[in-house]
Chains A and B, each alone.
Chain A
Amino acid sequence: MKAFLLSVLALVVISVGANQILVRMEGAGAIGSTTSVNVRVD
Chain B
Amino acid sequence: MLRILALISLFWTVALVPAMAQETVDDARAATGGAQTLEDILRRQEGLKIDDSFRSDLTGDPNAAAVPSDQLGTLGGASDPDLWRGLRYNAADVSTQQRGPAATTLIQDGGMWWLSFRRGALLSFGAYLLGGTLLALGLFYLVRGRIRIDGEKTGRSITRFKAFERFGHWLLATSFLILGATGLITLFGRKFLIPVFGPESFSTIAVGSKWVHNNVSWAFIVALVIIFVVWVVHNIPDRTDLRWLAKAGGLFGGEHPPAKKFNAGQKLIFWSVIILGGSIAASGLSLLFPFEFNLFGHTFSTLNSWGVPGWFGADDLPYPLQPQEEMQYAQLWHAIVSFVLLAIIFAHIYLGSVGMEGAFDAMGKGEVEEQWAREHHSIWAEETLGAKQSKEGGA
- Please report A residues at the B interface, Cβ cutoff 8 Å: 1-4, 6-8, 10-11, 14-16, 18-19, 31-32, 34-35, 37-40, 42
Contacts and interface: CB of A to CB of B under 8 A. Distances in A.
Which among B97, B102, B210, B215 has the greatest number of chain A C-beta atoms within 10 A?
A: B215
A11 B97 contact: no
A34 B98 contact: no
Main DSSP-derived SS at the B contact region: helix
B219 A38 contact: no
Contact of A7 (B174, B291, B292, B364): B174
B174 A34 contact: no
A19 B218 CA distance: 9
Contact of B366 (A3, A15, A16, A42): A3
Contact of A11 (B103, B166, B174): B174
Contacts of B169: 7
Interface in B184-209: none
A28 B116 CA distance: 38
Nearest to A40: B98
A39 B170 contact: no
Given A14-B219, A18-B218, A34-B288, A2 B170 contact: no
A2 B292 CA distance: 39
Contacts of A38: 98, 100
Given A31-B289, A37-B100, A3 B167 contact: yes
A42 to B, nearest CB: 6
A18 B163 CA distance: 25
9 contacts: A7-B166, A11-B171, A11-B175, A14-B222, A15-B216, A19-B214, A37-B100, A40-B97, A42-B97
Contacts of B174: 4, 7-8, 11
Interface of B: 97-98, 100, 102-103, 163-164, 166-171, 173-175, 178, 210-212, 214-216, 218-219, 222-223, 288-292, 364-366
Contact of B166 (A3, A31, A39, A42): A3
Nearest to A36: B290
Which among A3, A10, A31, A40 has the greatest number of chain B C-beta atoms within 10 A?
A: A3
A7 to B, nearest CB: 4
- 7 tightest A-B CB contacts, nearest first: A3-B166, A7-B170, A18-B218, A7-B171, A15-B215, A14-B219, A11-B219
Given A2-B163, A3-B366, A39-B98, A10 B171 contact: yes
Contacts of A1: 364-365
Contacts of B223: 7
A15 B97 CA distance: 34
Contact of B289 (A16, A19, A32): A32
Contacts of A34: 214, 288-289
Contacts of B175: 11
B368 to A, nearest CB: 15
Contacts of A18: 215, 218-219
Contacts of B178: 11
Given A14-B222, A19-B215, A38-B98, A4 B163 contact: no
Contacts of B167: 3, 6-7, 10
A31 B290 CA distance: 11
